[in-house]
Amino acid sequence: MKTTIRPIIMLLSLTAVLMVNAQVPLLSSHPSAQAVVFLDFDGHAVTGTSWNYNGPFACGTSGLNNSQITEVFNRVAEDYRPFNLNITTDSTKFLAAPPNRRMRVILTVTSSWYGAAGGVAFVNSFTWGDDNPCFVFSALLNYNVKNISEAASHEAGHTLGLFHQSSYDTNCNKLSDYYAGEGSGEICWAPIMGVGYYRNMTLWNNGPNSYGCTNYQSDLDIITAASNGFGYRTDDHSGNYDGATTAAFSNNEFTTSGVIEKNTDVDVFKFTMLSFGRFQLSAIPYNVGTGNIGSDLDLQVTLYNTSQALLNVFNPGTLLSSVIDTSLGAGVYYIKVEGKGNQYAPNYASLGSYSLLGQATPGSPLAVRKLELHGSLNGDKHELNWVIDADEKITQQSLEIATDGRNFQPLIQSAKDVRSYVYRPYNITSAQYRLNVTFDNGRQYYSNVVKIQQAGATERPQLTATLIHSNTIVVSSPGNYNYMIMDINGKTISKGKLTNGINNIHSSDVVSGLYMIRFADNVQQWTDKFVRQ
């Protein structure tokens, strides 16, 4: 049965229609792809479709100028960048595609035939093969380019089989059919299939849809399902050191680019410093303006030396871009680029395209010849030792720890002549360490990063006990995760978020009986059972 899905209703005042240029710019995001989504801005006569229950009707133009059309195209193209799918404004690309592998998105000022809505689509119609289009109503969206772009990606998503990403309270009561996301600044986030008008970073999501709080919808799996006839793009850069893409300097500078197609994808590049000097790298996700607006990718960059030893991880918490600014000796180095989540956005679909700009500035050799940290596991103890070979005198050294792979905190500040530290970590199964050293010339240096993990340990939240005697469930977590407690019939009792360390979950609804608790990080999930006595 063909089901009509109405996107969020937008009762906005009309403004004067902007005149569209005679010729819409011809743009394509992935010309070699067989599957096509056609953004139709210049009007269309709709006839012979399931929308024509009252006969044929004509849709006017979008009311956008060419600059606005180009921005809408760029925003929508980036949303669909991970897939082997061509977003285009060229009707010839659409007409050349197989009928069951194409969709026309009509962006139009004409909405009276349907009613007050931001847009409308038939779910799964991408594969019907009968050229039923979907619609975005630009006048009702007040000609706002951001909102029109969000609506276009949203409606095209419906045609690919997606329902709404919705929000629920802890008692499984629906709060909204359209989850509006959370946060502020450039890293604020919302699902594309929710309502993305009010957040900068809008992504595909794995969350409860409009049919219930336990009906999790994995947008990526549905979009790339065999029924739609296309999957992910071919990986453009190797994820290992042997196959690393060479970034060659020309006049002390290199530029390169890539796409993170999957949440498991990493791109590895290598470059050669011919002599000691300052190395700077700007890693920028695709965007349509200042503040990385329109970006779908929160970049993390990791720097390794010629032995593939980790030197540092770069991922500013409140920015989607990353910057390296450090001093390096002569030799070969490796850069690993990947998409990560942040305090608002899940890691699940931090995907999209990016560019790298590397610059080398020759300089005087470092006074520090060697700053190297080593670590090992001895039973339940973490043993660390280090070597410092420098002309300058040490004024301060501290050992730092991170349990989330990103945020380092001081662990101990040791005497200037100490070169080792052994301790038994409390409730930590995996940790990363680095040494922070300051010399008497005022310069500060970081060592390489070492990781120590308990043998057989799984980096996931764990119940501290499976037999409890109160309404408090204690969970040890290695980082930020979501949790959901359910009774044996699958009814949600409570849900929330875990942070690194010991978490005390209080729920008065946990009475005597058997329960399940599910932990998830939007990439993986685990379910444990516990008994309340």
- In the chain, where the domains are located: 4-228, 245-362, 368-453, 462-532
More confident site: 223 or 431: 223
- Is residue 371's pLDDT more than 90? no
Residues in the chain: 533
DSSP 126: G
- Is residue 366's pLDDT more than 70? no
DSSP strand E in 54-169: where?
A: 57-59, 85-88, 102-108, 119-122, 134-137, 167-168
pLDDT per position as a tens digit, 35-72: 999 999 999 999 999 999 999 999 999 999 999 999 99
More confident site: 202 or 22: 202
**CATH topology match: 4-228 vs 462-532:** no
Residue 126, token pair as written in the block:
């991408």
Q: What is the CA radius of gyration of the chain?
A: 26
Average pLDDT of the segment spanning 197-218: 95
Name the 3-class secondary structure at 146. helix
pLDDT band at 406 (very low <50, low <70, confident <90, very high): low
Name the 3-class secondary structure at 68. helix
Average pLDDT of the segment spanning 384-399: 91
CA–CA dist 475, 234 (Å, integer): 40
pLDDT per position as a tens digit, 427-481: 677 788 889 999 887 788 888 888 887 765 557 788 877 778 778 888 878 778 8
pLDDT at 9: 29
- Closest C-alpha among 229, 218, 228, 227 to residue 193: 218
Hunting for tokens 């669909």 — which residue is that? Answer: 80
What is the CATH number assigned to the segment(s) 245-362?
2.60.120.380
Quick one: CA torsion of 410, 411, 417, 420, rounded to 10 degrees?
-140
CA 16 → CA 86, 136, 142, distances in Å?
32, 17, 9
Average pLDDT of the segment spanning 77-89: 98
Would you list the DSSP string of 186-212? Answer: TT-EEETTS--TT-SEEE--EEEBTT-
For residue 325, the cross-strand partners are 280
CA–CA dist 509, 484 (Å, integer): 13
What number of other Cβ atoms are within 10 A of residue 396's Cβ? Answer: 13
- Is residue 6's pLDDT more than 70? no
Residue 214, token pair as written in the block:
């336990």
Average pLDDT of the segment spanning 75-104: 98
Note whether 450 and 465 are within 8 A (CB): no
What is the CATH number assigned to the segment(s) 368-453?
2.60.40.10
pLDDT at 479: 78
What number of other Cβ atoms are within 10 A of residue 318's Cβ? Answer: 11
pLDDT at 20: 39
Note whether 208 and 166 are within 8 A (CB): yes
Burial, 185: exposed, middle or buried (Cβ in 10 Å; 0-12, 13-18, 19+)? middle
In the chain, the percentage of residues whose pLDDT exceeds 70 is: 93
What number of other Cβ atoms are within 10 A of residue 80's Cβ? Answer: 26
Would you list the DSSP string of 346-364? Answer: -STT--EEEEEEEEEEE-P
Tell me the pLDDT of the chain averaged across its residues: 89
pLDDT at 161: 98
Hunting for tokens 């000691």 — which residue is that? Answer: 276
Average pLDDT of the segment spanning 302-331: 90
Helix or strand (DSSP H, E) at 519: strand 513-520
Helix or strand (DSSP H, E) at 93: helix 91-96
Residue type, 78: E
pLDDT at 22: 53
Whether the pTM exceeds 0.95: the reply is no
pLDDT at 358: 97
Average pLDDT of the segment spanning 346-367: 88
- Which of the given ranges, 3-7, 320-324, 377-381, has the highest pLDDT on average? 320-324
pLDDT at 476: 79
pLDDT at 5: 43
Name the CATH architecture for the domain at 462-532: Sandwich (2.60)
Q: Please state which of the four CATH numbers 3.40.390, 3.30.420, 1.20.58, 3.40.640 is assigned to the domain occupying 4-228.
A: 3.40.390
Please work out, in degrees rounded to the nearest 5, the angle formed at the alpha carbon of residue 459 by the alpha carbons of 270 and 382.
Answer: 85
More confident site: 9 or 174: 174
- Is residue 287's pLDDT more than 50? yes
- Is residue 11's pLDDT more than 80? no
